[in-house]
Amino acid sequence: DGMVRLWDPATHQTVGAPLTGHTGSATAVAFSPSGGLLATADVDGMVRLWDPATHQTVGAPLTGHTGSATAVAFSPD
């Protein structure tokens, strides 16, 4: 459905509203080392950055992949 949901591992409940904005199914997620950013990817090759505290996108979608984006990662530095 293109949505990403954040979950509280202690309560097993969703946190806030789902993150919407992907056109295809989400395939990967990663938090930045500080926890201040979340990256998500989808089968249409789009990568988005999010502020996990506000559930808002940060900047424009990262596009240009010719296939599915199947992994995302942050460098520790």
For residue 64, which of 40, 45, 51 has the smallest C-alpha distance? 45
Is residue 21 within 8 A of residue 39, CB to CB? The reply is no
The predicted structure's pLDDT at residue 72: 97
Which residues, given as ranges, of the chain have pLDDT below 70?
none
Please tell me the distance from the alpha carbon of residue 55 to that of residue 77, in angstroms, as a whole number. Answer: 24
Write down the pTM of the prediction.
Answer: 0.89
What residue segments make up the domains of the chain, in order of their start?
A: 1-77
pLDDT of residue 15: 93
